[in-house]
Structures are given as C-alpha cells and as structure tokens.
Structure 1
Amino acid sequence: MASPVANRWLRPEVYPLFAAVGVAIGICGYQLFRNLRINPEVRINKEGRAAGVLENFAEGQKYAEHSLRKFVRNKTPEIMPSINKFFTDPK
C-alpha cells in the first residue's frame, strides 16, 4: 500500500505542477550549461582565468547573436498572427 505522502503528492491533479517545475529546471539547466560552455565572460580553466579581461568583441557578438535571436529578429511579436489578422484587418 502507498504511503500517506505518496497519496497526497502523486495524484493526477499534481502532474501539471510537476511538468511545469520540470520544464523550468530544464531551462535553467540548459542556460547554465550554455553559459559554462560558450559564454566568453565565464572561464573555468586556470589558463582562461589567468588571461584576465579580454576585449574579444567577435566572440561576444557570436554568443549574443545566437540562432533563435536571428530567427525571431524580423518576426512580428504575435502569438497567433493569423487569428490577429482575421479580427483586426478590415475586409
């Protein structure tokens, strides 16, 4: 038989909460991994830390202009553009 704690927290009503928290943890983990691997201001190894502050603008630009930013740059900030056009454009 399940314990009282499992009966309280493992109900079907709680699954969306677990999913939302899991997605949030995944996003945080991805951002942490991304910063540790390719952020020009984060240096983990000793040689990189000894170099001090570098003025490498090309590396910083490459980090800031990632593929998602390039994809959404010229898009309109709408969630459902076809529905918005249907209700706002005069016929």
Structure 2
Amino acid sequence: MASVNRWVRPEVYPLFAAVGVAVGICGVQLVRNICINPEVRVSKENRAAGVLENFSEGEKYAEHFLRKYVRNKTPEIMPSINSFFADSTRN
C-alpha cells in the first residue's frame, strides 16, 4: 500500500487528466479513421477493389463538422477579452 501512495498523490492528478485526454483524442481519431476514412479499407472485399476515385466521399471526410464550424471564425481563444484590450476606439 505504501508504493501506491507514492505514485498516486494529488499533485499527479493533472498529469493523469492530461494523459487521459491525449489518449482519448488518439482513440477518437483512430476510430474515426477506421470507420469513415475513404482510404482505409478493413474488410478483404473492400481492399480488393483497389484505388477508388470517389472524390465526394473524400470531401465529406475532410470537410467535417468542426472544420465547417471554425472556417469563418477569427483565430482567437478569448475574442471578447482581446477586443477589450486591443480596441483603439475605447480610449
């Protein structure tokens, strides 16, 4: 029991959380690629088909919901705080 207390301290919880989030993101990307990537073929029948010229399926995979959502957004993390400190018309 003493060895468990040495490794599982409250200071280590953020590390566990960060590693858990990273593993979760990798898992989601892996499942996404295996399930819906048009270039990945798991079954033997699909692999035998060779190279397919299905551009619509590839575009559907590349233009996913998150990419469509952030396309017209400004690349800022906190836009209201940025505009508060950077707005020259406030002075």
**Structure 2 unmatched ranges of 5 or more:** none
Taking only the aligned residue pairs, the percentage that are identical comes to 76
Distance 1:19 1:89 in 2: 36
**Structure 1 unmatched ranges of 5 or more:** none
Displaced runs of 4 or more, over 6 A: none
Deviation at 1:89, TM superposition (A): 1.0
Deviation at 1:7, TM superposition (A): 1.6
Alignment partner, residue 14 of structure 1: 12
Aligned length: 89
Task: Give the AA of the match of 2:65.
Answer: S
Task: Give the AA of the match of 2:17.
Answer: A
Distance 1:30 1:59 in 2: 20
What is the TM-score of this pair, normalised by structure 2? 0.95
Distance 1:3 1:89 in 2: 56
Distance 1:84 1:47 in 2: 53
What is the TM-score of this pair, normalised by structure 1? 0.95
